[in-house]
Amino acid sequence: MSHKSLVPATFALGLFLLDGEASAQAQKGFVLDRFDPSERGSEWFVLDSLDLRGHLRPSAGGVVGAWAYNPLVVYDRDGNYVSSLVEHQVFVHPGASLVLWNRVRAAISMPIALVQTGDPIVIGTKSYSPPSTAAGDLRLSADARVFGRHGGLLTGALGAAVYLPTGSRDDYTSDGYVRVAPRATVAGDFALFTYSARVGFHYRALTERFERNPLGSELTFGAAAGVRLADRKLVVGPELYGSSILDSSSFLKRRGTPIEALLGAHYTFSEFRVGGGVASGLTRGWGTPAVRAFLSAEWTPGLEEDDDGDGVPNTDDACPTIAGARTGDRRTNGCPPPVATDGLDDRDGDGIRDRIDACPDAAGIKSDDPAKNGCPPDRDGDGVSDLVDACPEVPGPKSDDLSKNGCPPDRDGDGVLDDVDACPDVAGVASDDPLSHGCPSDRDGDGLSDDEDACPDAPGAADPDPKKNGCPLARIEDGQIKVVEQVKFRVDSAEILRDSDPTLLAIATTLKDHPEIAKVRVEGHTDDTGQAGANMRLSQKRAEAVVTWLTSYGLDKRRFEAKGFGVTRPVDSNATEEGRQNNRRVELHIANGGEAKPTREPPADAAAKKR
């Protein structure tokens, strides 16, 4: 047996091999290809997304490639593979559609078999020849939206397709008769989820049996579900479609019920849509292949939203919720025609006669002020109608930018209007404090914005060094009392230099302000210059010298523990002078295991200083 015997028996049509003579009569075929693509403009391969928006809106294109493997296979009586009458099929389906009146779609599609290969077979007195290149049956169809709207939760449509016998029975692309297929379809979207479902009836006048397999009219069905991704431009999801012959011996039976499952994706960009997918037959019904693959490309112009369905997109419609007609005037475009009141003109149709209408060409409302009577509402009185005023309750100048039209200026573009922005030329954030509203964030209130403050949660002074800018001399951070300037000692000595008094005073003040800090470990560290033993003793003496200084300031000696580590805990490389300087340090670690409170609350006048 050849390698083809590995083809799963669950796929394709099983023709049962019978004994017969070598001479045989050639038999005609039927429509074998089960793939019947959706109308152009759909975001599914077989199902329909029911995008019936617009008037005289076209779509055109086709399935560039639809390849099927083993859609018609011959088995013996025991179900063993014998041969493939049709092993490979490649179809293209050029077509087009046209949407009319925001509700109806007419469409045309022409299947063309570019490749059909297989092996000839003889069964009894009948011979079967593999098909060749041929056109299929021309499909003409129409659908009408009955309820809902595209993109809503539920849209329904009724329609029908007529298949003209333009194909060839000898090449398995036609039944030789006109076929008719009425159908009902629903589709919808919920958030990013999208779906479609269809049920229909396929009338087929060809009712003869093909060997032991019946042909005839069918119940058709299908369903699809997926998600919209990439800003709703990409639709990905599975489709399931099939049919069942309406015959008592075949209905819902495996051989009379070909079913396929498909996984596909469609991506829309500009006015074009491309797609790809792969399918497989789930039953041994005729025409279901072992595997099928698709590629599609079509031109499908988009459509802007049109809530009132008058053919004028909302963006150009002066009356977007009332159906009207196109005009050359953007003030009346898409609005109903003007009506007369007591024989007097009312050009804008707002029910206010032109002779007392202060805005006779723009529909408005009544007003006791003759200068505003009949004009569109303008609550903030800035001369910009509420209909186009981006800030209808705050007066501002007109602007060509619709997002700023009628809004007060905002020079720094931070969303805080200049008239209430405390920092109108520097982008900032909103605040309940009018003195800092619209100013850059400054959590510690030291007058330096957080993006340039090296210590944004502890107030400090400005410093040209970015690593010290905005930092206090001493602060609580990460379980330590950190300092800006290290405590300095004489060379090879534990004597503290007077230059370090401000730093030590800041440490002592911080500890007095935070009595909850019960224990501090004062650590001494050195570089690797000299002998390790001498460095260890020097680091211990320097730690003890710092404790002595702090207790002389009035702090309880029991709060401190002095510990020298010598060269054992470097924080930088000892290969450079800068690294050695960083390693010569004193660190103060909070050792009581508790969480210390923030260093200090920002000064009460911080906002005033910033201002």
**pTM beyond cutoff 0.75:** no
Q: Coil, helix or strand for 509?
A: helix
Report DSSP letters for 120-133, one per residue.
Answer: -EEETTEEEPPP-S
Residue 436 binned pLDDT confidence (cut-offs 50, 70, 90): confident
Cα separation values, 447 from 235, 413, 425, 506, 570, Å:
52, 22, 16, 20, 35
Percent of residues, the chain, with pLDDT higher than 70: 87
How far, in Å, CA of 519 to CA of 513, rounded?
14
Q: What is the pLDDT of residues 45-83, one digit of tens each?
A: 999 999 998 889 999 887 766 887 877 777 666 666 677
Domains of the chain, by residue range, sit at 3-299, 319-376, 480-590
C-alpha closest to that of 524 among 569, 556, 480: 569
480-590: CATH number: 3.30.1330.60
Residue 19: predicted pLDDT? 36
Q: What mean pLDDT value characterizes the chain?
A: 82
Residue 139: predicted pLDDT? 96
Q: Quick check: 513 pLDDT over 80?
A: yes
Residue 337: predicted pLDDT? 74
DSSP H or E stretch at residue 346: none
Q: Coil, helix or strand for 418?
A: helix
Q: What is the pLDDT of residues 521-538, one digit of tens each?
A: 999 999 999 899 999 999
Q: Quick check: 410 pLDDT over 70?
A: yes
Residue 3 binned pLDDT confidence (cut-offs 50, 70, 90): very low
CATH of 3-299, one of 3.40.50.150, 2.40.30.10, 1.10.3230.20, 2.40.160.40: 2.40.160.40
Q: Quick check: 438 pLDDT over 90?
A: no
Mean pLDDT on 352-364? 83
Mean pLDDT on 265-271? 91
Mean pLDDT on 526-555? 92
Residue 146: predicted pLDDT? 95
Dig out the tokens for 226 from the structure.
Answer: 């997926």
Q: Quick check: 174 pLDDT over 80?
A: yes
Residue 239: predicted pLDDT? 96
C-alpha closest to that of 89 among 109, 73, 69, 72: 69
How far, in Å, CA of 78 to CA of 16, rounded?
9
- Least-confidence region, from 7-21, 410-424, 437-451: 7-21
- Of 1-15, 228-242, 426-440, give the range with the top mean pLDDT: 228-242
Q: Quick check: 6 pLDDT over 70?
A: no
- Least-confidence region, from 129-138, 436-445, 476-485, 578-587: 436-445
Q: Quick check: 453 pLDDT over 70?
A: yes
**Is there a shared CATH topology between the 3-299 domain and the 480-590 domain?**
no
Q: What is the pLDDT of residues 97-126, one digit of tens each?
A: 999 998 999 999 999 999 888 888 776 667
C-alpha closest to that of 57 among 150, 148, 147, 146: 150
Residue 447: predicted pLDDT? 76
DSSP-assigned beta bridge partners for residue 14: 73
Cβ partners under 8 Å of residue 180, min gap 6 = 160, 161, 162, 163, 202, 203
Residue 4 binned pLDDT confidence (cut-offs 50, 70, 90): very low
Q: Quick check: 182 pLDDT over 90?
A: yes
Burial 279-310 (b: 16+ CB within 10 A, else e): bbbbbbbbbbbbebbbebebebeeeeebebeb
